Structure 1
Amino acid sequence: MSEGSKVCVTGGNGYIGSWLIYKLLARGYTVHATLRDLKNESKVGLLKSLPHAEGNLVLFEADVYNPTQFDPAIQGCEFVFHVATPLAHEPGSSQYKDTSEAAVAGAKSIFMSCVRSGTVKRLIYTASVVSASPLKEDGSDFKDDYTYSKTLSEKHLLSYGNDENGGGLEVVTLPCGLVGGETLTSSPSSSIICIAQIVQQERAYKSLKFLEGLLGKVPLVHIDDVCEAHIFCMESTSISGRFLCASSYISLQEMTNHYALHHPEFTVKQEYKDGQSKDIKWTSTKLCDKGFVYKYDAKMILDDCIRYARKMGEI
């Protein structure tokens, strides 16, 4: 790829989207980023203040609930990162009944925008590790509409990539584990806070307990590795399909015992430390087999979450 190649990032003001844009700009790419509201000065200002943004970052207003708005942002780009996703249903929407319907329609429309552009070579979708749950293939046992919408969107995008009408467009999906580290956004990421607050908040513990029950262990990945994995999938000569993005697989017992040992300033409930340990083995080497190397292990991720949460006054 030549320096200055155009790429598009949907959901540019989010946790992953903003970090990805930061890294792409540092590498010399021209980035088209979409936001739901260009009048939101704090979110627009964050992206415009990134190093190398001047002259290399172009912002577009686009909403998954109005997926045809993405055409101008995608036009002329070689690669598209579809990171945007509706977290909650728009109550005023008469077009879609829930977030799942909106997310799938948005994914399909963005895929077709890529095909129509005539320039996009590969679409890379930021998926969720919940789609790797062994519960049911249709996702009907998932806890909420968000997790279900992520699973359906990924499934549809992979099928579009295999479709003969896809115009040869390659589709990569990256189901990401629970993402930790820091954030560029002004508000803390819910995943970081959940990881850090497990020793203090019952709600955080229950959320991770749900994830462990869904997957057997809690897959962790650092935000830096997540973004590097996305860029790796873009810069690879040819790549398509599904690649789980997680560097570590840890039980709640291992997580709370780490905090009890290395962060004694927190009082960890004994019931958390003595929780049942499950002998479940997780592994996914597909991304590493392609040549990708993770830089952060579980300890580094957990410690970074504690450091950031403390800095933000969350713990």
Structure 2
Amino acid sequence: MASTAKGKVCVTGASGFIASWLVKRLLESGYHVLGTVRDPGNQKKVGHLWDLEGAKERLQLVRADLLQEGSFDDAVMACEGVFHTASPIVTKSDSKACQTLEEMLNAAINGTLNVLRSCKKNPSLKRVVLTSSSSTVRIKDEADLPPNVLLDETSWSSIDYCESLQIWYAVAKILAEKAAWEFAKEHKIDLVTILPTFVIGPNLSPELGPTASDVLGLFQGETGKFTAYGRMGYVHIDDVASCHILAYESAGAQGRYICNAAVLDSDDLAALLARRFPCYPVPTSLPRVYGDQSYGFDTAKARALGMAEFKGVEEMFDDAVASLRRHGHLPVPL
């Protein structure tokens, strides 16, 4: 696709953490962006999108509901590409959405399929880029994770093992991505999936989503979330947006793409951040609840796509902290 002739693309869940950065980079690249959100009139939720360069000329926000079949028909029909970043994954405590685990998992699957059903109706659609997760790759019991193994895109997490640990987010992501691949194959949709690790970096919105809230908690001295994460890959939000666009624009792109900069045990991450940000009560260490894991990620496929260099852990957390300070979530040290 020539940079002088960018078309119109749809970004679902446009106000989200990853989606907002994707909208930002798409606008800067010259695309017209049609973003779907739950409530286009909610300035508190979408105001940061209108502040983006090019938004007034090339951004349109429309309402769509992931759990309502046909809700994305008009948005998708107006575009030649779709970036599906939105996810209806909810917790059991969300009484308005789902009451049972089965409903929670079905919501994740059907939300993805509802978007793809709309995509099927557009004969001019070039490609769908789906945001999945590295949690679909890395969660296995010890017997399936030999020392120093490099996990690539052929790897799938064990649903049984995820269920035994009650990691329902991962179960939902696995089921949703596999359902997407089956649907795309059946209906001949050009589908590519991006599998980011833990996404770190500046938040465009002053409101924090789950990921940014967990990062904020770490800088406030909380230990629970990151202890539960164990060994984890980390990637800058800007690299995630770039990987999505490369996957859309590269004619030969196909299959799954792991997007990751570095892999650290949670206690190693805590130690690094405690040294780098001594003004905050970051825990100096965290227990290794999953034992001595040593897996890494093979990112050769993403690098071949054009991701030659990933931003480092220090830069991604420097940017995240600067953002948290700017939005008033963290105090600025004197």
| TM bracket (short chain) | 0.7 to 0.9
TM-score normalised by length of structure 1: 0.87
Pair 1:137 & 2:158 matched? yes
Amino acid at match of 1:311: R
Shift of the 100–64 alpha-carbon distance from structure 1 to 2, 3 Å rule, reads: same
Aligned residue number for residue 211 of structure 1: 229
RMSD, aligned CA: 2.7
Number of aligned residue pairs: 306
Partner Cα distance (2:291, 2:98) in 1: 46
The equivalences for 1:187-206 within 5 A come to 187-202=207-222, 205-206=223-224
Deviates more, 1:247-256 or 1:140-149: 140-149
User: Who is 1:282 aligned against?
Assistant: 296
Query: Unpaired runs of 5+ in structure 1?
Result: none
- Residue aligning to 2:154: none
Q: CA–CA distance in 1 between the matches of 2:216 and 2:96? A: 35
Structure 1 residues 235 and 95: CA distance shift in structure 2, 3 A: farther
Q: Does the CA-based 8 Å contact 2:127-2:191 persist in structure 1?
A: yes
1:57 maps to 59
Q: Is the 8 A contact 1:196 1:302 kept in 2?
A: no
Give the alignment of 1:49-128 within 5 angstroms: 49-88=51-90, 91-92=95-96, 98-128=103-133
Match of 2:36 in 1: 34
- Alignment gaps of 5+ in structure 2: 142-156
Say if 1:313 and 1:275 are closer, same or farther in 2 by CA, change over 3 A. farther
Report the alpha carbon displacement of residue 207 of structure 1 after superposing the two structures with TM.
1.4
- Aligned counterpart in structure 1 of residue 183 of structure 2, from 139, 160, 174: 160
The normalised TM-score by structure 2 is: 0.82
Contact 1:12–1:21 under 8 Å retained in 2? yes
Query: Contact 1:79/1:122 (CA < 8 Å) preserved in 2?
Result: yes
Please, which of 280, 286, 311 is the counterpart of residue 296 of structure 1? 311
Q: SS at the partner of 1:140?
A: helix
- Distance in 1, matches of 2:288 and 2:277, equals 17
Match of 1:180 in 2: 200
Whichever residue aligns with residue 27 of structure 2, its letter is L
Q: Aligned to 1:300, what secondary structure does the other structure show?
A: helix
Which amino acid counterpart does residue 137 of structure 1 have in structure 2? S
Pairwise CA distance, 1:37: 1.3
Partner of residue 171, structure 2: 148
Asked if 1:305 is matched to 2:330, the reply is no
Report how far residue 223 of structure 1 moved.
Answer: 0.7
Q: Please state how far the C-alpha of 1:276 moved relative to its aligned partner.
A: 9.7
Change (3 A) 1:260 1:304: same
Would the alpha carbon gap of residues 199 and 46 (structure 1) be closer, same or farther in structure 2, given more than 3 Å must change? closer
Distance 1:109 1:208, change over 3 A: same
Deviation, structure 1 residue 60: 1.4
Percent identical among aligned pairs is 28
Residue pair 2:89, 2:107 contacting (<8 A) in 1 also: no
Contact 2:229 2:266 in 1 (8 A): no
Q: Could you tell me how far apart the structure 2 residues matched to 1:142 and 1:279 are?
A: 16
